Chains A and B, each alone.
Chain A
Amino acid sequence: MSQQTAQAIEIAVVALIFALMIIRLSRRQSISFRYTIGWLSLCAVSLFGSLLIPVISPLSKFLQIDALTLIAAGSIIILLAICIQLSISISGLQRNQQRLNEDFAITKLEIEKSRDHKE
């Protein structure tokens, strides 16, 4: 077994374990379906990428990058995309939370005032 094949198998095993972990978390509703898809895509790139080293080899030769480095680069790009998506989601949640926070305070005061007015 060549060193490259051994590395590909190791990456595939890690990707598979990671994918199983994500599926388990998703079944427990700890991660929403939207993010499950993102993480599983990352696993898929690592898993199939490592198994398809012979197919990737011509491209890696053309780009003058090692095949495994190319797979790692692909995974990092997907990771970054997930991080950006998460940042967008968190920013939106923060805005919504702030709006709810303010609405609650204003509505509460209006209710208190109308109750005082009735009394």
Chain B
Amino acid sequence: MITKSEVLVVVPALNEEATIVQVISGVQEEGFAVVVVDDCSTDLTAALSRVAGADVLSLPLNAGVGGALHTGFRFAVEHRYKAVIQCDADGQHFARHLTDLLNAANQCDADMVIGSRFKSEAKSMEITTTRKLAMNCLAIIASRATKHKITDSTSGFRIITQPLLGEFAESFPTYYLGDTFEAVVVAGRAGYKVREIGVAMAPRVSGASTSTSARSVGLIAKTLVLTIFMLHFRIRKKSYHG
């Protein structure tokens, strides 16, 4: 049974000064510790985060979302946290669902619980047909890998518990989709238990999504190569941890 004090919320952030304070406040109100991983922002993201009471890991070089998350995972493991919740800095993830993710992880004894945008009854996101097609394709592959129906393998809102957290702190991809979809597939193939719960998500308040239709098509091709040739990163199997 993991308690809130044993969970660290990791918020990777790049130029999110418009929303970061609101995100940190939401996390703190839910009773979780929070660390912001500032991915070389040029605005006031880091300063505002510190004022809001969050620990800030400032990367001197831009590392991407995956690199920022990896930094957060290492920090969490070094400080003996039992779980990490990934949460976006753009305000799309509602803080009230943090506890839902923790409860689900405890109830299912899961190594990873994903907050799915498509499992929620509330229609929270509008996406293009091409992107939807790409996401469905990824969901099928992720479901096969985890032997569980996954509807949103690219969601960046998820809880990761030990020992999977320790594995990710050692090895985690930094490229696009590696930190979301690939992490799910790798965890599933290594025998870790991956589950999903439905969550609502707010539309973006500021900034722009990194996913475009053209990119969606590209990611299908990349994903197929990755999956067919088993080129993804490696972690130790769950059985290794007993």
**Could you list which residues of chain A lie within 8 angstroms of chain B, going by C-beta atoms?**
97-98, 101-102, 104-106, 108-109, 113
CB distance from A31 to the nearest CB of B (A): 24
A105 adjacent to B59 (CB under 8 Å): yes
B117: interface (CB < 8 Å): no
A101 touches B57 (CB 8 A): no
- Contact A106 B71, CB 8 Å, known A98-B63, A101-B63: yes
- Is there an interface contact between B57 and A98, defined as CB atoms closer than 8 Å? no
A101 touches B74 (CB 8 A): no
Q: A98-B63, A98-B174, A101-B63 are in contact. Are A108 and B71 (CB under 8 A)?
A: no
The CA of A106 and the CA of B58, in the complex, are separated in Å by 8
Q: Do A101 and B67 form a contact, CB below 8 Å, given A106-B75, A109-B75?
A: yes
- Tell me, yes or no, whether B159 is within 8 Å of chain A by CB: no
Q: Which residues in B have their C-beta under 8 angstroms from that of A106?
A: 57, 71, 74-75, 78
Chain B interface, number of residues (Cβ within 8 angstroms): 16
B75, A101: Cβ atoms under 8 Å? no
- Whether A98 lies near B67 (C-beta < 8 A) is yes
Q: List 5 A-B contacts (CB under 8 A).
A: A101-B67, A102-B74, A104-B60, A105-B37, A113-B55
Chain A-chain B contacts (Cβ-Cβ < 8 Å), number:
38
- The answer to whether A102 touches B55, judged by C-beta atoms less than 8 angstroms apart, is no
Interface string of B51-68 (1 = CB under 8 A from A): 000011111110100010
Contact status B55-A101, CB under 8 Å: no
C-alpha gap A105/B174 in the complex (Å): 16
Distance of A32 Cα from B75 Cα, bound (Å): 36
Q: Mark B23-56, 1 if CB is under 8 A from A, else 0.
A: 0000000000000010000000000000000011
Does B70 lie at the interface of the complex (its beta carbon under 8 Å from any beta carbon of A)? yes
Determine the chain B residues whose CB is within 8 A of the CB of A109 once the complex forms: 55-58, 75
**In the docked arrangement, what's the CA distance between A25 and B106, Å?**
61
Nearest A residue (CB) for B63: A101
